[in-house]
Amino acid sequence: MVTPHIETLCTLLAQVLGARQLSLCTAESCTGGLISASCTQLSGSSAWFERGWVTYANAAKTTELGVPDDLIRAHGAVSEPVAAAMARGAQQRAGVHASVATTGVAGPTGGSPEKPVGLVWFGWCVGTQLWTESQHFAGDRAAVRAAAVAHALARLHTYLTQSPEPEATTDQ
The model's pLDDT over 10-27, given as tens digits with 9 standing for 90+, comes to 999 999 999 999 999 999
| CB-based contact 33:52 (threshold 8 Å) | yes
| CB-based contact 168:95 (threshold 8 Å) | yes
| CB-based contact 100:123 (threshold 8 Å) | yes
Cα(99)–Cα(142) distance, integer angstroms: 23
The model's pLDDT over 64-74, given as tens digits with 9 standing for 90+, comes to 999 999 999 99
pTM of this prediction? 0.94
| CB-based contact 22:48 (threshold 8 Å) | yes
Work out the average pLDDT over 125-144.
97
The pLDDT score that the predictor gives to residue 96 is 97
Output the average pLDDT for the chain.
94
